[in-house]
Amino acid sequence: MFSEIIRTGIMNKLQKQSYKDRIVNLARRKGTGTPADLALRLEISERSVKRFVREIREEGTDIRYCQTRMSYVMD
């Protein structure tokens, strides 16, 4: 999936939801790392990570960045 996104430069709704799901799952375990680390892990830009996190919040999920843990977390 990720290589196709890189090749085409286009993400569909299913691919976007897959990224959001991965971010939420990692945040539940407090294992995202910094936005830059997460971007590398997901093979997307840091800007995309921040956009996805914003969209996750807008959808009603309580996700925030914890400076102490250096990870997105969910309460």
d(Cα 49, Cα 60) in Å, to the nearest integer?
A: 17
pLDDT band for position 8 (cuts 50, 70, 90) = low
Q: Say yes or no to pLDDT of 4 above 70.
A: no
pLDDT, averaged across the chain? 91
**pLDDT tens string 26-54:** 999 999 999 999 999 999 999 999 999 99
HEC states along the chain? CHHHHHHHCCCCHHHHHHHHHHHHHHHHCCCCCCHHHHHHHHCCCHHHHHHHHHHHHHCCCCEEEECCCCEEEEC
d(Cα 60, Cα 69) in Å, to the nearest integer?
A: 22
Asked which of 12-16, 23-27, 30-34, 53-57 is least confident by mean pLDDT, the reply is 12-16
pLDDT given for residue 75 in this prediction: 81
Q: Which domains does the chain have, with CATH numbers?
A: 2-74 (1.10.10.10)
Both tokens of residue 40? Answer: 């590398």
